[in-house]
Amino acid sequence: MTRDPATEGLRVYIVGGAVRDALLGLRPGDHDWVVVGATPEDMARRGFIPVGGDFPVFLHPRTKEEYALARTERKSGRGYKGFTFYTGADVTLEEDLRRRDLTVNAIAQKQDGELVDPLGGAADVRARIFRHVGDAFEEDPVRILRLGRFAARFPDFTVAPETLDLCRRMVQAGEADALVPERVWKELSRGLMAGAPSRMLAVLQSSGALARVMPELQGVDEVGADIDRAAGLGLSLAGRYALLCRLTPEREAMGRRLRVPTECNDHARLLPEVLAALDGAPDKGDAADAQLALMERADALRKPERFFDLLDAAAVLRPVDKPAWQSRVAAVRGVDAGAIAKACAGDPARIKDSVRQARLERLRAG
């Protein structure tokens, strides 16, 4: 191992997802490190850059990976922010691991590769089981969302019955009501981008949390299958979210409440219109007017890529000839509206109708 002056003499361990993923034979992402027996002053002297808010986290001066001081936490209020942290130099690695959510995320690795696994996380990795570390799990409602997200990412894992029971008790105790929109959306969006998003919905539904965090959502079983197909096709987040909401009349209210990004809200609003138009429009002859009307409603001439993304989402539910639509959009966008406006200079009221007629002629000629 290459000598690292910044960490030489420190007791540092890789923790969490990087260790879990390595055990699963997956390529780990960024490494998270825990430092035991050090103080913020020790880290600053070594050139580490402090970035932590609630507790001390530092960026390595060269690699920029995160190094957090070992810590314990104690419940001091409601919700995911209701914690008091202690990061004294006397906090042990085992104490730090015991505050984590799931046993598979509570494994540490020394710099020489040796595992430190006091909670049996490696065995649960082999058994493909998500199991909560201890009673502290119930102190943070975000962990219910994280459990759902992990279930979506690792579809061959099952949730331990006692962990699901604990989630139910948390919901019944009102802990899920303390979740703020930003955290719900952060975990939901990551779950939607996993390989089996329906599993996140299943965990939330089984625990009772779905009705608390997304009460507007309808048709969960049906849309769950839709978003799994969308995941298999590699659809964008906006496309997957639109499919998630397609049976929900209150999709706009849900989007506002969860502070969903504008792009995702726009997809959710437009997908039902695209589906209705595709179902109602014939393919040839007098279809040109219906085709142009759909392009206008979806703003396809100004935002063609969004329109094509919506077609990808629609194709999850029914056959869609996307190349034909791409040709139609290209043809309509090829109409020189400026030249038509100049030709109508003496009668400005004719411009709009003339441009539309020219676009219809292009569609009919195609």
Query: Which residue shows structure tokens 């943070």?
Result: 140
Predicted local confidence at residue 330, as pLDDT? 95
CB-based burial of residue 209 (10 Å sphere; 0-12 exposed, 13-18 middle, 19+ buried)? buried
Q: What's the chain's Rg over C-alpha atoms?
A: 26
CATH code at 1-119? 3.30.460.10
Q: Supply the pLDDT for residue 30.
A: 76
Instruction: Give the model's pLDDT for residue 193.
Output: 98
Burial of 28 (0-12, 13-18, 19+ CB in 10 A): middle
Query: Per residue in 302-337, is it b (16+ CB within 10 Å) or e — as a string?
Result: eebebbebbbbbbbbbeebeeeebeebbebbeebeb
Three-state SS sequence of 121-155? HHHHHHHCEECECCHHHHHCCHHHHHHHHHHHHCC
Please give the pLDDT value at position 111: 84
pLDDT of residue 75: 53
Name the residue ranges covered by the structural domains of the chain.
1-119
- Name the nearest CA neighbour of 293 among 269, 274, 311, 265: 274
Question: Which pLDDT belongs to residue 79?
Answer: 47
pTM score of the predicted model: 0.89
Q: Please report the DSSP string for 156-176 in residue order.
A: T-EE-HHHHHHHHHHHHTTGG
pLDDT of residue 28: 77
| Residues in the chain with pLDDT values less than 50 | 1, 76-77, 79-80, 82, 284
Distance CA 354, CA 357 (A): 5
